[in-house]
Amino acid sequence: MPKFSFEKIVNHTKVSGFVYPGSEIYGGLANSWDYGPLGVALKNNIKKAWWQKFVIENQNIVGLDSSIILNPKVWEASGHVATFNDPLIDCKYCHSRFRADKLVEGHDSSIRASAMSNQELEDYIAKNIVCPKCGHNQFTNIRQFQLMFKTSIGVVEDAKSQAYLRPETAQGIFINYKNVLRTSRKKIPFGIGQIGKAFRNEITPGNFIFRTREFEQMELEFFTKPGTDLEWYEYFKKYCMDFLLNLGMKQENLKFLEYEKEELAHYSKATCDILYAFPFSNGFEELWGIAHRSDYDLTKHQEYSGEKMEYLDVDTKEKYIPYVIEPSVGVDRLLLALICDAYDEETVNENDVRIVLHLHPFVAPFKAAILPLSKQQNDLANEIYAKLVKEFEIDFDNTGSIGKRYRRQDAIGTPYCITVDFDSETDKSVTIRNRDTMEQERVKIEDLSNYLKEKIKL
């Protein structure tokens, strides 16, 4: 389990410029957050890492950037209009509102409330649970609450103009499956990856950026031949876990949760989540969902659009609608997990504790910081900065003692501090200090670019 309290970690991200409260000067907007200079850099690097590993390094996966507002029929076909809702229950006494399933799981974490009917949830709550806000046991019946944000297109607001902000990026992929197949000359098995914003009118957002109403997803839809689907499911389970471990996340903070048969959607053969031991939770919480979606989505879009979604295997002449494996992870949630995993407070000596973020260099907001030892080294330091900044994210800091400057960089996860000192001009070298080991080595200025390139590799 992470060693530090959630409050401490959240506070660190706020004071150091990773995340700010949303709309702060207007008193804020509940559960909305803005990413500051370090946050946007970290977020971009996480997306870059995912795109690199899921799209660029796979010959049979291509990218897509579909619209946020789609034809509303998409959401009828996908089932979101009818079923994308949460069971809502109100305390009759203090009028606080809760998600009934979360209330039950919060009371007993061994229960999988997602598998319970509304009647079962109501009965369980009536017998066992008091309102967490006021302590009374008087709840309304459960009502289903639509999670999609509605908007309208054009100047007249009527039923015809109604549209939705997408609650997932996945459907934009399914409706473009034929376009990609036609234009990319891919053959099954192949995948389409997409990164983008999604919106859900969550009833119980919270735990900082863990659950928000506006967030980003990184989703892959991988199209397979029926019969090979479960092999691909296992393949992507491992691929996703390896991705997290490769980013340096601690194995003991990650685990799989495989869904029981009765918890699976009716069309799915298997689904699991990768869970992370977030410090706000007593146990583990969902980080990444990996779902076997069979041919459900493509078949539904075929039915609602009239467009054939069959794939013709030109070698065997077989025709089929492919089965889909879908790994889907939230950028913001992964960012939170990475920070929780990387945060540490280390005792350097009796009077010195340093905060350090052990982020993988690939995702760290800055790869290196240039620190001239005194003003006399400013020119050379600036020269080095100007060269390196063309290739890497580099910070420059010439204020305060060198010890303080090291600490500042440790706290924001900069893996290398490059000190330009009195000898640098003559020996054409600098001292590189490693964030994690605090060891120092002398490196030729002309070798810096290769040095960093080698170190930040994924």
Do 47 and 39 meet the contact criterion of CB atoms below 8 Å apart?
no
Do 63 and 192 meet the contact criterion of CB atoms below 8 Å apart?
yes
- Measured from the CB atom, is 188 or 220 closer to ligand GAP? 220
Both tokens of 176, joined, read 């473009």
Closest distance to ligand GAP from the beta carbon of 216 (Å): 8
Binding site for ligand GAP (CB under 6 A): 168, 170, 200, 202, 211-212, 215, 217, 219, 286-289, 326, 328-330, 332-333
Closest distance to ligand GAP from the beta carbon of 330 (Å): 3
Closest distance to ligand GAP from the beta carbon of 173 (Å): 9
Closest distance to ligand GAP from the beta carbon of 50 (Å): 12
Query: Angle 378-388/448-456 helices, nearest 10 degrees?
Result: 50
- Measured from the CB atom, is 333 or 435 closer to ligand GAP? 333
Closest distance to ligand GAP from the beta carbon of 363 (Å): 16
- Measured from the CB atom, is 86 or 122 closer to ligand GAP? 86
- Measured from the CB atom, is 217 or 377 closer to ligand GAP? 217
Closest distance to ligand GAP from the beta carbon of 138 (Å): 29
- Measured from the CB atom, is 70 or 443 closer to ligand GAP? 70
Closest distance to ligand GAP from the beta carbon of 306 (Å): 24
Closest distance to ligand GAP from the beta carbon of 293 (Å): 9
Distance, C-alpha 51 to centroid of its chain: 12
- Measured from the CB atom, is 122 or 168 closer to ligand GAP? 168
- Measured from the CB atom, is 229 or 326 closer to ligand GAP? 326
- Measured from the CB atom, is 204 or 431 closer to ligand GAP? 204
Closest distance to ligand GAP from the beta carbon of 219 (Å): 6
Give the residue at shortest CB distance from ligand GAP.
330
- Measured from the CB atom, is 18 or 215 closer to ligand GAP? 215
